[in-house]
Amino acid sequence: MAVQRVHRTSYAVDVAAPAGVVYGLVADTTQWPLFVPASIHVERLDFDGVQDRFHMWATANGTVRSWLSRRTLDAGARRIDFRHELPAAPTTAMGGSWSVEPRGADRCRLVLEHDFTVAGDRPQDVAWVRRATDDNSRAELDRLKETAEQWTRLDELLLSFEDAVRVDGPAELVYGFLYDVADWPRLIPHVARLDVTEDEPGVQRMSMDTLTADGAAHTTESVRVCFPHAGRIVYKQTATPALMAAHTGEWSVIPDETGVTVVSQHSVLLREEAVERVLGAGTTVSEARAYVRGALGRNSTATLELAKRHAENAVRML
């Protein structure tokens, strides 16, 4: 049996932020969809502070891939070793490390290394993996650098919130309304256009034109990962409005004895340099937070109310 060739890559970026800040961004996988461009969703399975195991969905060369990964965190050394338990094809093994090297009180170097093998070591597959690794790694380091260098203002630029509606109807009807996005343009007034593909069951890619309160339209692109048995749909906008550097969310349907509560949750990383350009000179980040909270909340609450009406009307008709 031939020994598979191990391919290696290495990337580094200098960051004007404390090493502890940068390590913290890399260590918390649950926040990666906000801070790592290719990351769509992380479903954490186990974490004890040192060992981290999770299911990751991410884009690679324009496709959506998923894998199981485990990591070992060494906070003292500011190093994280990772290995994919179930690598995504065509790789047969993928692993590596993150390390943060202090360069003074407020500077450091972030290094990302990979090693991987490819089934049959086919040149075209090796080239595909290397291209995906190169593109994603460089984008990851650039975004992590940008985010970390805003560390003194990061709490102000991040916002998370949720809206909820009570529904006297079955979870299946509510979930079906949220899942069947192809029907949204005829059911939801603020959705002007929506194109969706689902090449893999439960993984949807969608492009949507949404009408704002003043009648203007903006286009967003998203990837959604659907968990029907858990009543959850998580998503990340892969093309966001100018005011947002990143936007993730979740629809969840929570049943009880007599009906369900349906919840829309949003997490946003604001793009600070766009605040005045989009909202006008003199607009503060605090005002931008309120604007984004209002705009996203109005649309998601309208969708929740329509899901409620859909489910409750169907029950009455029965």
- 212 in the same domain as 129: no
CA 213, distance to chain mean position in Å, is 26
Residue 166 within any structural domain of the chain: yes
pLDDT on residue 197: 97
Q: pLDDT tens digit string along 37-73?
A: 999 999 999 999 999 999 999 999 999 999 999 999 9
Whether 225 maps to a domain, the answer reads yes
Q: Which two tokens stand for residue 31?
A: 């926040």
pLDDT of amino acid 218: 84
pLDDT at 3 over 70: no
| Domain assignment present for 2 | no
Residue 1 above 60 pLDDT?
Answer: no
Rounded Cα distance between 222 and 195, Å, is: 11
Output the pLDDT for position 316.
Answer: 66
Residue range 99-125: average pLDDT?
96
Q: How confident is the model at residue 234 (pLDDT cuts 50, 70, 90)?
A: very high
- Residues 294 and 228 reside in one and the same domain: yes
Q: Which domain holds residue 55?
A: 7-148
CATH number at residue 184: 3.30.530.20
Same domain, yes or no, for 102 and 226? no
Mark whether 130 and 167 lie in a shared domain: no
Residue 125 has pLDDT above 90, yes or no: yes
Both 69 and 188 in a single domain? no
177-221 tens-digit pLDDT: 999 999 999 999 999 999 999 989 999 999 999 887 777 788 999
Q: What contacts 289, CB < 8 A, 6 or more positions away?
A: 156, 159, 270
Radius of gyration of the chain (CA): 21
Can you give the pLDDT at residue 214?
Answer: 73
pLDDT of residue 122: 94
Residues with Cβ within 8 Å of residue 260, at least 6 apart in sequence: 166, 167, 169, 170, 171, 174, 231, 253, 254, 311
H helices of the chain, where? 19-27, 32-35, 123-148, 154-157, 171-179, 184-187, 275-279, 285-317
In a domain, 111, yes or no: yes
Domain's final residue, options 148, 170, 194: 148
Average confidence (pLDDT) over 65-84: 97
Among the candidates 82, 115, 148, a domain finishes at 148
Domain assignment present for 249: yes
Instruction: Based on the fold, state whether residues 293 and 226 are members of the same structural domain.
Output: yes
User: In the structure encoding, which two tokens stand for residue 169, read together?
Assistant: 């109807």
Same domain, residue pair 183 and 143: no
Q: Verify that 45 and 62 share a domain, yes or no.
A: yes
Note whether 74 and 171 are same-domain residues: no
Domain boundary among 91, 113, 148: 148
Q: Do residue 219 and residue 91 come from a single domain?
A: no
Asked if residue 142 belongs to a domain, the reply is yes
Q: Is the pLDDT of residue 318 over 60?
A: no
**pLDDT attached to residue 193:** 95
Q: Provide the number of structural domains found in the chain.
A: 2
Average pLDDT estimate for 232-261: 95
Tell me the average pLDDT of the chain: 95
The pLDDT tens digits of the residues spanning 86-111 come to 888 999 999 999 999 999 999 999 99
pLDDT at 151 over 90: yes
Does the pLDDT value for residue 276 go beyond 80?
Answer: yes
Give percent of the chain above pLDDT 70: 97
Least Cα distance to 232 among 246, 220, 249, 218 occurs for: 249
pLDDT, position 195:
97
Q: Is residue 1 part of a domain?
A: no
pTM for this predicted structure: 0.93
- Domain identity same for 99 and 169: no
Distance CA(129)–CA(31), nearest Å, equals 24
Residue 203 lies in a domain: yes
Angle at 241 between CA 12 and CA 230, to 5 degrees: 85
273 is written with which tokens?
Answer: 């340099």
Which amino acid makes up residue 198?
E
Structure confidence at residue 4 (pLDDT): 82
Work out the angle between the directed axes of helices 285-317 and 171-179 (0-180°, nearest 10): 130
Quick one: average pLDDT of 280-288? 97
- Residues 130 and 180 placed together within one structural domain of the fold: no
Please check the confidence at residue 2 and state whether its pLDDT lies above 60. Answer: no
Quick one: average pLDDT of 150-175? 96
